[in-house]
Chain A
């Protein structure tokens, strides 16, 4: 299995909602990442997990809360988001010093 899967594919939420994005990989990778991508821009790093521990938080607002329940799963919990948080959210995984493989992304719209 060489895929990174993400659910849901699309998500529309209000500013008072709580929702979660999910990412899964079965490649035995021990590093997982969340990126945010706005239209016509490159992906921007949000969080890095290495061996299930949060190793990098790129000054992301606390309304985004990552969680790594095990080595195959990565979640991003969303609460009280703003319309400007609307974007494509990408998950990636890699061996700790290897190439990163991306999932298809979740298209998030905040109303």
Chain B
């Protein structure tokens, strides 16, 4: 079983600050996905990283895949209250996704 360790589990910061969420594993993944989920809703796919060392940007969000494809990070610049939510990293494929425990992010105005 491939496990994903996600940190921090909880993060509450002020609007305008920067933050980084980490997703680590001892296993190699062919790809990792990052999702954002709001309470009572399904996860929404933010990005998929496939190539070791890959960096992808989505507005103020920057995603990086480790060179060995065992870890990934999500960096948010100048966080806004609308960024509040549960951020999940996930790996796997046709056999279903394995999720990290998630990062509960609260951005206070």
**Contact residues of A with B, CB < 8 Å?**
4, 6, 31, 33, 35, 40-45, 48, 50, 55-56, 58, 88, 90, 92, 94, 96-97, 99-105, 107
Known: A42-B101, A100-B33. A48 touches B95 (CB 8 A): yes
Asked whether, in the complex, the Cβ of B96 is within 8 Å of the Cβ of A48, the reply is yes
Asked whether, in the complex, the Cβ of A97 is within 8 Å of the Cβ of B43, the reply is no
B70 to chain A, nearest CB (A): 19
Asked whether, in the complex, the Cβ of B42 is within 8 Å of the Cβ of A105, the reply is yes
Known: A40-B104, A41-B101, A42-B101. A102 touches B95 (CB 8 A): no
Name 23 interchain pairs, CB-CB below 8 A, sorted by A: A33-B97, A41-B101, A41-B102, A42-B88, A42-B99, A42-B100, A42-B102, A43-B97, A44-B99, A45-B96, A48-B96, A56-B96, A88-B40, A90-B42, A96-B94, A97-B93, A97-B94, A99-B45, A99-B48, A100-B45, A102-B35, A102-B42, A105-B42
Which residues of chain B come closer than 8 Å to A40, judged between CB atoms?
104
The CA of A11 and the CA of B33, in the complex, are separated in Å by 30
Q: Is B44 an interface residue (CB 8 A)?
A: yes
Interface string of B1-45 (1 = CB under 8 A from A): 000000000000000000000000000000001010000111111
B35-93 residues with Cβ-Cβ distance < 8 A to A are 35, 40-45, 48, 88, 90, 93
**Contact residues of B with A, CB < 8 Å?**
33, 35, 40-45, 48, 88, 90, 93-102, 104
- With beta carbons under 8 angstroms apart, the residue of B41, B94, B100 that contacts A104 is B41
Per CB-CB distance, the 6 closest pairs between chain A and chain B, nearest first, are A42-B99, A102-B42, A45-B96, A105-B42, A104-B42, A102-B43
Interface centre among A41, A92, A102, by most chain B C-beta atoms within 10 angstroms, is A102
Which residues of chain B come closer than 8 Å to A35, judged between CB atoms?
96
